[in-house]
Structure 1
Amino acid sequence: MNKQTTRAFSTGILFTTAIIFFYSFIFHTASSSPSDSIPEDHIIVKESEIKEQENEISALKEELDSYRKKAEKDTSSQSEKYQLTLMIKAGMTPADIEEKLKEAKIISEDEPFVDYIVHNNYADKIQIGDFLVNSEMTVAEIAKLITE
């Protein structure tokens, strides 16, 4: 083999290597990053997870609506202020007092006046007399007023 043949052979190998390198560089990077790949700031969520979240959101919305309705009901019932001069006589029980307060709409039907009086040891401390109470007072405030 002469010098010229060796150079031509070397040039051929170099040219073939360059072609293979560029071919693999162009087509390999294109296949490793497809056009439908997901950007870094995106998250994949399954349909079942979406439906779970939608169900949870609808349940929370219903709960919020019920709270709003209850709050509207409470505010509408609280908009009217009732007042009563509570006359406590000898021999009256906490249940009798509770009944008078409920009749005058000072406390609601579901407020546990008797339970509060008994559990806080106010039953023996109830004073005889006239007490001015209103519907804006809490059970604790009424109990404190009639036991002082």
Structure 2
Amino acid sequence: MTKETMRAFASGILVTSAVVGFFYFQVFAPFDQPDESKQALTESTVQQYLEEHGLEAVDADAYTKWQKNKGQDNKKENSDDKQKKTSDEQAQDNPSKDITKATIAVKQGMSTQDVIDELVKQKIIKSGDKFQDYLENHNLATGVQIGKYKLSSDMSMSEVADKITK
């Protein structure tokens, strides 16, 4: 490189730095300064916001306790579901003395609705809509696992769901 080329390169860097500095300090700097018209965040403004939006603030201990209680309630509900059958499930379980047994293959790429359609087709369940509702109400709709399952029509919805989601 020649002396003139180095001087031109250095001058270009100097001019570029000046332009960037101008835009940074003159154009963008006003946005960085705090707006005096904004209200300071205080406990009273937070409380007012919570009341306006129907929310409630809790401390960390109360939240942790609530989470533990929620987990215990979910476990109780799951055990109750397994022990008790609803009248819909009982009606589905034994509509007649004919018990249908089938092996259902859940393959990769199958949607939950595809699996439900196969269960109805194989006469393992009577109502696909009721089974879909059951899966959604128990947060199992996205938990169907790939595999082969031996199922029968005398199984309850919860038993069928337990088999295909584990």
TM-score w.r.t. the length of structure 1 is 0.46
TM-score w.r.t. the length of structure 2 is 0.41
Larger Rg: 1
